[in-house]
Structure 1
Amino acid sequence: MTDLTEFISHLPKCELHVHIEGTLEPELKFALAARNNVTLPYADADEMRAGYAFHDLPSFLACYYEGMSVLLTEADFYDLAWAYLNKAQEQNIRYAEIFFDPQAHTSRGITFGTVIRGLRRALMDARRLLDVRAQLVMCFMRDFSAEYAMATLMESLPYQEWIIGVGLDSDERGNPPAKFAAVFARARAEGYQLTMHCDVDQENSVDNIRQCLDVIGVDRIDHGVNCLESEDLQNEIKARGLGLTVCPISNSYVRGSDGLAVVRKMLDGGLRVTISSDDPAYMNGYVTENLLAVQATTPLTPAELVQLQRNAFEIAWLPDAVKDTYLTELDGYLTTDVEC
């Protein structure tokens, strides 16, 4: 290998923060719309991309949920996941934990089973045909009621073997983690792993991270970069060995270049930071592009780039023996000669 760009491209990767609905590229959106006789308010894929004008979380969510109208059948959800998993193979993502938002679909009349059966078939085919391993993480939408979240949790139980954990996403305004304490306590009792979004620079960001720790007892935190505002919070996160699934390009829509530079700050602070893509079809960047963007802003050494992936594999919800296989592959990769 001749440079760090190639090193990053071939680096064995683990992605822990990607929304499957956020991988719906415009070309596939148009194909599904044609199949399902859905009319889209754009002439073509280029015009659709140009229409992705957002500057904060609420404006992004308006684009994000509008695009889901084409997802109607089990085959649609299969095709959605299959497209991402092929992209994952191209980027040498060896393992991914994939968020899905059942309420975004059940709220418009699509059954829970339709969603998860399509996604699950794609994951199984990817393991067999692409050598990409993936698991599903079910997110509750925090701008819906806690009662709806609890009903969704109950609806998931017949499919529990297909779901490794639960998370919380969508608009944080007025929707703190504590709102869902009972839901997450029940999810823990049912055997699910727990995570929650604490998006960058939201209302009461630091307090929301604290609630994740003290009220919910999460196993990791999604985003969570505002922990840098509190030394006590950082120390508690490190003491618990929790990882943070950071999405630099996504963060840069809110923070500009600091959304990329924050990775260096977290590494230097000893936090277990990982790199993911969030909603790559809307953010113009999958994991490789996120790593390249960070590298261009605050250069990392090969050892640091490997450490980011080591962090991800170590906090992944996998059996230790499986983790060890990936970590051995990662350690072997670092011995490759790299001319910087």
Structure 2
Amino acid sequence: MSDFKQWLWAMPKAELHLHIDGSLQAARLLQLAAKNGVEIPYNSVESVEQAYNFEDLQSFLDLYYLGASVLRDEEDFYFLMKDYLDKCHEQNIVHTEIMVEPQTYLPYGVTVETVLNGFRKAIADAKAQNGQSALMILSLLRHLSEDEAIAMLDSVAPYRDDFVAIGLASSELGHPPSKFERLYAKAKAQGYKLIAHAGEEGPPEYIWEALDLLHVDRIDHGVRCVEDTELVVRLINEQIPLTVCPLSNVRLCVFEKMADHNLLQMLQQGLCVTVNSDDPTYFGGFMNENFESLADALALTKEQALQLVANSFKASFLSDEAKAAYLSQLQDFAAS
């Protein structure tokens, strides 16, 4: 590994766009399928990994939901979260904001309480053992109805303190942010921070809707904003964070190859862009692999990497005091 890549690995980082089911590693998927008697069309780590060559977002989602179907009890959810947080510790991701999608498990009779009991314990263990910081985001599935999303929001009321924000995930095309105005108004009244996937497969209009109708605090993905100059100006002026996922964008054919990615161009324009892994086991790498890919394909510099990470800490839903502490830690790293 080059000196620069070793430096990237050592840099303290924050991840803001991570679907916990998308971190399910192939070996764990096979183990849990066997444990829970779930039939899947794979019998080896290699056969699972061969299935990761997606044609589009939907072909990915089909495999994603198959993977999620092997999670059934509290222990399963504990290990799912623990595996990801162990990876964070390995990659010096000191803070992460994790999207949790309870609607995914409802068809299998898995309750919100089961999911959260496992996740809570893993997060508490990571904090106690390694000082790791993690927040959870209630992520709703946009291919389902707004009424179903509102019902899920209502059902997590007893667990309100477990979630810092709500978000939208799943199929973007055909499910514009405007579909969820009532949901977001209700969540905002309950004190949730607000995020939404927009401008990945969907057009810039989806980003406008997320801003003007849902009143989001940050945009997940947002790479298609560059197609609308007025939108870019607004995003720069308001410093709306964009949680960009480079390897994901290439794997899902938003960009043909990493050399075509617009992340560093957006950074240079003054957009508040960040680097994240999205669904890392499905898209070819966790956060450090995303940074390495940017270094290889786009000649990422130390200055750019530091700015991207600073943006992540600033865009997080941490307290101002915690943000300042992490930014100071980053400055100390840069000066070392």
Per the TM superposition, whether the score is higher than 0.5 is yes
Deviations along 1:215-241, one digit per CA (max 9) or x if unpaired, are 111000000001111111011112222
1:322 aligned residue: 322
Q: Which amino acid aligns with 2:163?
A: I
Q: Label 1:2 to 1:46 Cα distance change in 2 as closer, same or farther (>3 A).
A: closer
2:90 aligned residue: 90
Q: Which amino acid aligns with 1:242?
A: I
The offset of 1:258, in angstroms, is 4.9
Give the one of 230, 235, 238 matched to 2:236: 238
1:250 aligned residue: 248
1:132 aligned residue: 132
Deviations along 1:300-337, one digit per CA (max 9) or x if unpaired, are 2212111100000001001111111100010011113x
| Long gaps (5+) in structure 1 | none
Instruction: Please give the alpha-carbon distance, in whole angstroms, between the structure 2 residues aligned to 1:39 and 1:220.
Output: 38
Q: Label 1:61 to 1:332 Cα distance change in 2 as closer, same or farther (>3 A).
A: same
1:242·1:272 contact (CA, 8 Å) conserved in 2?
yes
Report SS of the residue matched to 1:311: helix
Check if 1:263 corresponds to 2:263. Answer: yes
Deviations along 1:198-221, one digit per CA (max 9) or x if unpaired, are 15233xx11100001111110000
1:43 aligned residue: 43
TM score, norm. by length of structure 2: 0.97
Instruction: Please give the alpha-carbon distance, in whole angstroms, between the structure 2 residues aligned to 1:30 and 1:257.
Output: 30
Check if 1:23 corresponds to 2:23. Answer: yes
The offset of 1:157, in angstroms, is 1.2
1:119 aligned residue: 119
The percentage of aligned residue pairs carrying the same residue is 38
2:157 aligned residue: 157
Give the one of 192, 205, 208 matched to 2:206: 208
Give the one of 200, 215, 218 matched to 1:217: 215
| Long gaps (5+) in structure 2 | none
2:172·2:201 contact (CA, 8 Å) conserved in 1?
no
Instruction: Please give the alpha-carbon distance, in whole angstroms, between the structure 2 residues aligned to 1:90 and 1:201.
Output: 31
Deviations along 1:234-285, one digit per CA (max 9) or x if unpaired, are 1111222210000000001211225763111111110000000000111110
1:267·1:273 contact (CA, 8 Å) conserved in 2?
yes
Instruction: Please give the alpha-carbon distance, in whole angstroms, between the structure 2 residues aligned to 1:311 and 1:101.
Output: 25
Q: Which amino acid aligns with 1:216?
A: L
Instruction: Please give the alpha-carbon distance, in whole angstroms, between the structure 1 residues aligned to 2:18 and 2:199.
Output: 14
Number of matched pairs = 334
Q: Label 1:274 to 1:115 Cα distance change in 2 as closer, same or farther (>3 A).
A: same
Report SS of the residue matched to 1:70: coil
Q: In terms of mean alpha carbon deviation, does 143-152 or 192-201 score higher?
A: 192-201
2:274 aligned residue: 274
1:226 aligned residue: 224
Q: Please give the root-mean-square deviation of Cα atoms over the aligned residues, in Å.
A: 1.4
